[in-house]
Amino acid sequence: MKDKVIVITGASAGIGAAVARQAGALGAHVVLAARRPKELEEAARASGDAALAVVTDVTVRAQVDALASAAIARFGHVDVWINNAGRGITRKVSELRDEDLDAMITDNVKSSLYGMQAILPHFKERGAGQIINVSSLLGRVPFAPFRSAYSAAKHALNALTACLRMELRASHPGLVVTLVSPGVVATEFGTNALHGGMDSRAFPGAQSADDAAAAVIDAIRTGKIDVYTQATGAATVQSYYADIEAHERTSPFAQPRRP
């Protein structure tokens, strides 16, 4: 971890700020990006003397490109790029408006796409690098109807992440593409959701941002490509899809399976 250059979006609070603090404490050079200057500077001060804060709106492609340029100009290269910025929603499918879905795609999918595309040329030139896309357990199991469009957007992000990994596998084997799926984390995510919502910090069993960040740090150390920040994550996904199969087998509309 020491001397690695790590770019983190959505780094003014929550998981992003926690990753920056932990990486900085381990000797990494961190570049923090977010829209809020005051909070971003505070997070950077807590992340080591070499930390760089770059005010960035990740929904604007030109600003994400400028972020990549600023990181490379300051440190000479980038080792890890973490697309962590995102936003939730509190609205069921039956209530969604066009602008709701557009906002979720922009905030959770396009923002990460811009990051991937901004840093890829640099990583390809170096023949090394790691892209980490922070998704959500709701990108695997859509069990929260009020997070409908957020869940859909994270499913889309998961697909883009997997497709990029396959795209690079043969031509650039030194590039690692990692997906991280947190569950409920005790941050301001809920209160910052579009249309408001319950404070995520009030959810029973919510994971701390520091614990979620530790899973991201571990993914950097190990190069893992599919990470759940909570030990029960994988089992939750498996149980969800096992239940779907059981429902299909017992449904009166089920068709007999051909051998």
What is the structure's pLDDT at 254? 47
CA distances from 139 to 18, 25, 36, 80, 159 (A): 22, 30, 27, 22, 10
Domain that holds residue 194: 5-234
Does pTM top 0.85 for this prediction? Answer: yes
**Pairwise CA distance, residues 25 & 155, whole Å:** 33
Report the half-sphere exposure of 76 (CA within 13 A, side-chain side): 3
Q: Judge whether 255 lies within some domain.
A: no
Which three-class secondary structure state does DSSP give residue 255? coil
Q: Judge whether 66 lies within some domain.
A: yes
**Whether residue 150 lies in the annotated active site:** yes
The DSSP bridge partners found for residue 179 are: 133, 226
Q: Judge whether 142 lies within some domain.
A: yes
What is the structure's pLDDT at 39? 96
Among the listed residues 114, 150, 240, 241, the single catalytic one is: 150
Which three-class secondary structure state does DSSP give residue 196? coil
What is the structure's pLDDT at 45? 96
**Pairwise CA distance, residues 188 & 209, whole Å:** 10
Task: Reduce the secondary structure of 14-48 to three states and give it as a string.
Answer: HHHHHHHHHHHHCCCEEEEEECCHHHHHHHHHCCC
Q: Judge whether 230 lies within some domain.
A: yes
**Pairwise CA distance, residues 176 & 199, whole Å:** 34
The DSSP bridge partners found for residue 31 are: 7, 52
Per-run averaged pLDDT (10 residues), the chain, 259 residues? 95 96 97 97 95 98 98 98 96 97 98 98 98 96 91 98 97 97 85 82 80 97 96 87 68 49
Burial of residue 143 (CB within 10 Å: 0-12, 13-18, 19+) is exposed
Q: How many domains does the chain have?
A: 1
Q: Judge whether 50 lies within some domain.
A: yes
Q: Judge whether 257 lies within some domain.
A: no
What is the structure's pLDDT at 257? 53
What is the structure's pLDDT at 1? 84
Contact (Cβ atoms closer than 8 angstroms) between residue 23 and residue 47:
yes
Q: Judge whether 217 lies within some domain.
A: yes
Domain CATH for 150: 3.40.50.720
DSSP 95: G
What is the structure's pLDDT at 165? 98
SS3 content of the chain, % helix, strand, coil (to 5): 50, 15, 35
Q: Judge whether 247 lies within some domain.
A: no
